Each structure stands twice: as C-alpha cells, then as structure tokens.
Structure 1
C-alpha cells in the first residue's frame, strides 16, 4: 500500500496548498458547528456537546485568526505588488470584499464564542440558529472566492522566491522554526515555556532576550464610540458585569499607582470594594506606603486588566478618605480574622520574621477578642475620576481606545484615541 492512511498536511514550502488545507480544516469545524446546532435541542450540553463546542472554540479562537492574518498581511499585499492588467483589476475589486468578510465573520464569531463557552462549561444549551447559518454560509462563500480566484492567481504570479517568502512569513506567524519538521496550518505559537531552549536568570540571559518575541493577538470583541454609554461609570458597570459573567479571575482586582515627594511612582494590586458616581473605593492602612503617598500627593491612577476579555480600564483622579462611618461599616463587615490582622499589621513597616508577625496577631486576638473596633489608621480611600480610558484588544495591535474626560461642569467628554 503506497497511499498514506491519513490526510497528510502540506508543509509551508507550499504556502498556497497550506492555505487551501486550512480551508479544509475550517469546513470540518463548520460541519461540527452545524451538528452541534442539531444535537443541543435533544441532548443538551452533554459530554459530546461540550467536546464539540470546545473543539470549535479552540480552532476559531486561534488557528482561524492566523489564517486571516496570512491573507491580510502577506498574501494579498504580495499579490497587489505583482498583479498587472486584468489580474490587478480583479484583485482591486475582490480584496475589499475579502477583508470585509474577515471583519463580518469576526463579529459573528464573538457572539458564537460567548454561546459556545457557556456550552463548554455546561451552564447553557443555547446556540443561535441564525448566527450559525450566517457564519457558515459567509465562510463557505468566502473560501470559494479565494479558491476560485486568489489561490490560482498566486500560483500563476508567484515565483519560487515569493512562494518561499510567503511560506516563511506563515511559519513566523505560528512561531515555527524554519528548520523544524513539517507543520500544518493548525499550528499556533507555543507558550514561551514550551519553546524555551535555555533558561537563565542572569541579566541579558535567554529569557530576557526572548521577551520581545512573546506575542498574543487579540480578537474577542470591539469597542465603538457609537456603542458605549454616555457616562463612563455606566460603561464601567457594563464591562464589570460582563467580567463577572465571564468568570474573570478576580475582576475586582486593580492596580493602584501613587507617587512620592520626589515624583517616583509605585504600584500595587488592591481590591475595589465599591464604585458608583462618586468614584472607586478601596480600604487600607493609612500609615502604609500608599497611604502616606496619597496624604502627600492626593492623586492616583487605577488599572483594571481583564485578561480573559482582552480589556483594561485606566482611571485617573484625585483621592480622598472615605467618611469614618463608611470605614466603620466596611471594617465591621469583614471576617473576624481579617479585622484582627488589620490591627496587628503595621503595613509596609519592616519586621524581623514571620514568627514575629504571627506573635503580633496572637496578642491582638487575645486583647480584642470577638469584637475589635476599627483602628484610626485604617479606612477607605475613594478616587474621584477625572479621566477614564477603556481599552479593547484588537487584532494586529490595532486596539480600540475610548477615553472620557470630566469637564468643569461635571459632564463627560468622550473621544477615540489612536492605538
């Protein structure tokens, strides 16, 4: 038997064949998506459904975007550079349609992504029939155009050097060593730990040198100035609720940056405990480093980063203490051990060892018992925002940034910033 038992994938020395092979993989995932649509009403989110949803998610979250980038950043620009006459006219007419297809399919995928993620964790069984049908049909017609026109044009116009250039670009996008064994279009950049060949902590060592090569493309959502709320607190609330729904790890964690008297900045992570029209509130020891810096320079910057949603929010403004009543209310709502720890710790002050810290806690526990009162040097800070920027990661580092700036009359001005 001379024929292989499995469908072998072409290598990147045949880049057009790799692109067509990718289309075959996409068609298989689209078929799985249609089967899942029919499976869910009868069987719900059973194990088979969850596995199918996970497979579709994995492919369209990773490999499909790489395939789009192959076309947008390499194939079409290279064709545009060499096409003449009728080929140039055909490409000029077709290229915008291909790029728009990518945008439209990405937008549809965002909706499907959310639905499939809920199916994977077994918390939902809904999959929109209309979106699946539109997504499948758009992809199928898109691939037919490319296979009928773009691929044959590339095979006619590219010489061996240009084919090699295209193949090498596709390899680099996937983090594949040019000397490595053949790999398929499904290959995605491996995590840094998996590709490391030498590890060192010395300055300028291998890890430090490779940091510049760590890249992750974004593509979960988009942010349009016409869709955001007029008030940034409403927009933040909307995003925070979406972070909760997506089960982001500690969505209430935020970076707080302050400066000392010499203008030197410091940052740390704290937990926001309240946000409303008045601002963003957290609690701490007023004698800590950040407490002293805020007392001297009452301004700060907050940063929320929700990795799972590829979003961040930066908030700048003036900081003031919350009222004693607010601080008392929150302090008394904390677990007993947390209240005792707040009393026992002179936050940011040096201490000899962990044993000394534990000893201080035991002494405080014996002294205060079950009902410790809030110490005067512990309480809340509230940042009243003057500037709030919403950042949504987008493909090829062409991110969306919308910033709100508070005006003198208390209203908010809104504008888009370049990435």
Structure 2
C-alpha cells in the first residue's frame, strides 16, 4: 500500500460541484485503501502500515464523509428541488429518496467497519470483513455514479452564479472556513421548498366542514405533531391583535370549539369583539387552514360535560388559576393550587368563569404548499343563503 502519495489539489469553493466531485474521488481512494488492506492483513497482520491505513480511513469516514452527505442533504438537494421543473423535477422525485436512503444505509454499514478498523488501528485486532468491505464499496460506487451522471449535471445546468456562490459558502461554513452568519442574518436565507401534494378546485369537497374533516383525518394518520393545536387570534376593544396556541376540542357544522377561562385575556377580548381567526399549521403535510368567524360561548351543559371529562388535576388547575392575571412567583401559584386541591375534593364543579368558545366560520381557506412558493389556495366563503362558495386564490 502506498501511503506516501501526494494529495490531489482540491478545487476552490467557487466551484462547489467540483468540490463535491473531489470528495467522491477521495472516497474512492479510501475505499481502495480498505480493499488493499484485506490481502495486506492476511500477509502481514496489523503492522504499522496497516495501522496507518486504518487510521486514515477512519479519519475520513468519521468526519469528511458526513460533511459531504450534509452538503447534499441540507444544501444541494433542497436547492435543486427549489428550481427544478418538469422532467428535472420528476427525475429528482425519483432519485432523491434513494440518495437519502443510501446515506442512512451506508452510515450503518460504516459502523461495522469502524469497529474492525479501530481494532486494526490500535494493533489489537486484524480482522476485516471482506464481504462488508465489498458491499460498502459497491454501494458507494453505485451511489456516486448516480450523483455524478444525473445530480451534478443538473446542478451545473440549473444553478445561477449566485446559487453556486450560495452553495459554496454553505459548504465553507459547514467546515469552519467561514463563520456562520448571525441568526438575524441567517433567517433570510432559510428555505424549505414544498412539493408533497396538490390542491385543486375539482378535488375539494363542496362543503368546507367535509374538507376540514378529510384533512384532519389525514393529519391524524400521518401522526402530525399535535394536529389539534391551533392559533387563536383576537383583538381588544382598541383593535390591537393578540394570538396564542390552544387545543381544539370539538368541530362539527356548528363550528370549532375550545375551552378556557372566560376572564383570561382572550376571554375579555372576545367579550368586547367576538370576531376571531383560527390557524392550523401542519408542517409535516405542508398544509395550513385559516378560519375566520364569530365566536360565542358554548352552553353551560356543554361546558360542564367537557369540564367533568378532564383529569382531576386539570380541573383543579382550571379552578386555581386566574388565567392571564399576574402572580408573584411559581411558589405562590403552587400554594394556591394546593389550597384548592384540599377544599375541592374529587368532583369539583366547573367554575362559572370557565367554559367553551365556539367559532362559527364565515371564511375557511385551505393552503397546500407547492414548489417555488407557488402555493395552492382554495377559500370557502359563507353565502347569505347559508351555502358555501369556493374559489382559488393566487399564492
């Protein structure tokens, strides 16, 4: 094994695609080193030359290979997805899942080889699985060929000079060559292109409640994180808006219901101005639903039924907390809770200032993320006769 070969001159980051190709060439060299190690170990065991070779392979695949994968996963592929159209977009849709799967599976293959190479590197072992090496090398070879024959040419063809510079800068930041931008500056460059689904006028339900129910069931099936979480925006008597996240507890054709303290900030604002807006955002499905309408309190019977269905500690917390009112510290809050718990018993009644709000919608908009911020938006508006009309909005 030749351990004294001079390294190839690497291209500059002003040519990021060439840098990625150079990374592939270095991977091929490390794979070749592992393949040469197999007969060397059989003849010489874990001698000094074998130890040095094992150390070099470990150093590369433990660090540089992960940086290379991150370049592709976090920058190259998302940037391509944001600009590719037509056949290019279709090609990416076919290739990208396999590329990402390769990264995960090659990482898993590397873990077995890492253990064997580590023993060789410190002279404590000399076993290296020939089948594992060949499987790892072949998987990488096939993977790199797909990227070099399809992904790299597409990037060269589609990326502007500014996008090439952006890619090169991101790669330098990842390697510590350039400092990471401050969070306030970096936020402008955050990009996530959407493309999971579409939303067409011909496909949506005639009734927005049916459409909401369909999307909500899909969110449940997709195991979206807290699909029942929604933002509730209200305004005070002076027209100043506020918003917060609450959990929806019921929806049907009467409207969308949640429960709270009527003396809270939102309760007081709704008493002064009953107009409100709800927002569901399900990032896993690249969807949001905006709902606007008039809010009213649920009946005492409905509020009692829901209150009594809650866990005891939740009921006690609702009684103990004067929601939105200031308090000295957490200790005072917990002391108040303990005092309530001692007096309330196991079946505390619902306090009069706690209950449900129901928003009766007048406008419901369904939003599906699409590529290049060219999103699908279908809005339903309530008509004077009680029917619903829907139409497309421009993104």
TM-score with structure 1 setting the length: 0.61
TM-aligned CA distance change 1:250 to 1:14, over 3 Å? same
Is the 1:272–1:280 contact (alpha carbons within 8 Å) kept by the matching residues of 2?
yes
| Contact 1:317–1:387 (8 Å) recurs in 2 | yes
Q: Check whether the contact 1:12–1:170 (CA below 8 A) recurs between aligned residues.
A: no
CA shift in 2, pair 1:11/1:258, >3 Å: same
The equivalent of 1:44 in structure 2 is none
Query: RMSD of the alignment, in Å?
Result: 4.5
Equivalent residue number for residue 172 of structure 1:
166
> Equivalent of 1:370, from 333, 338, 346?
346
Alpha-carbon distance, 1:217 to partner: 2.1
Q: Are the equivalent residues in 1 in contact too, given 2:368–2:377 (CA < 8 A)? A: yes
| Distance across 2 between alignment mates of 1:367 and 1:352 | 23
Q: Contact 1:305/1:313 (CA < 8 Å) preserved in 2?
A: yes
* Corresponding position: 1:100 with 2:86: yes
CA contact (8 A) 1:282 1:381 kept: yes
Of the candidates 71, 80, 83, which is equivalent to residue 67 of structure 1? 80
Give unpaired runs (5+ residues) of structure 2: 24-68, 100-145
Match of 1:384 among 345, 348, 360: 360
- Unaligned runs of 5+ residues in structure 1 are 23-55, 73-98, 114-139, 155-162, 184-193, 198-205
Rounded to whole Å, the distance in 1 between the matches of 2:4 and 2:82 is 33
Change (3 A) 1:108 1:323: farther
Contact residue 201 and residue 378 of structure 2 kept, 8 A: yes
> 1:210-225, aligned counterparts within 5 Å?
210-225=186-201
Quote the residue 1:394 is aligned against.
370
Q: Say whether residues 1:338 and 2:314 are aligned partners.
A: yes
| Distance in 2, Cα, partners of 1:12 & 1:351 | 56
Q: CA deviation at 1:166?
A: 3.7
Q: Aligned partners of 2:357, 2:389: CA distance in 1, in Å? A: 25
| Residue 223 (structure 1) shift | 1.9
Displacement of 1:208: 2.5
Deviation for aligned residue 1:179: 8.8
Residues 110 and 221, structure 1, Cα contact 8 Å, conserved in 2: no
1:137-156 map, 5 Å: none
Q: Match for residue 117 of structure 1? A: none
Distance in 1 (CA, whole Å) between partners of 2:278 and 2:264 is: 17
Deviations 1:86-117 (A, max 9, x none): xxxxxxxxxxxxx322454577799999xxxx
What is the CA distance between 1:391 and its match in structure 2? 1.4
Measure the CA separation in 1 of the matches of 2:98 and 2:245: 33
| Aligned counterpart, 2:392 | 416
Q: Could you say if the C-alpha distance between residues 390 and 177 of structure 1 is closer, same or farther in structure 2, counting changes exceeding 3 Å?
A: same
CA gap of 1:171–1:231, structure 2 versus 1, over 3 A, is farther
Change (3 A) 1:278 1:383: same
Are 2:185 and 1:233 equivalent residues in the alignment?
no
What secondary structure does 1:250 align onto? coil
Q: Is the 8 A contact 2:249 2:258 kept in 1?
A: yes
The answer as to 2:268 corresponding to 1:301 is no
Indicate how the Cα distance of structure 1 residues 180 and 106 shifts in structure 2: closer, same or farther if over 3 A, else same. closer
**What aligned pairs does 1:17-416 form with structure 2 within 5 A after superposition?**
63-69=76-82, 72=84, 99-104=85-90, 166-172=160-166, 176=170, 196=180, 206-416=182-392
**2:325 is paired with a residue of what secondary structure?**
coil
Tell me: CA distance 1:306–1:173, structure 2 relative to 1, closer, same or farther (3 Å). Answer: farther
SS of the equivalent of 1:176 reads helix
Q: 1:301 to 1:7 in 2, by over 3 A?
A: farther
Contact in 1 for aligned 2:262/2:353 (Cα 8 Å): yes
Q: Which of these two proteins has the greater Rg computed from alpha carbons? A: 2
Cα distance in 1 for residues equivalent to 2:8 and 2:307: 64
1:249-283 per-residue CA deviation (whole Å, 9 max, x = no partner) reads 11111100000010000111100001111111000
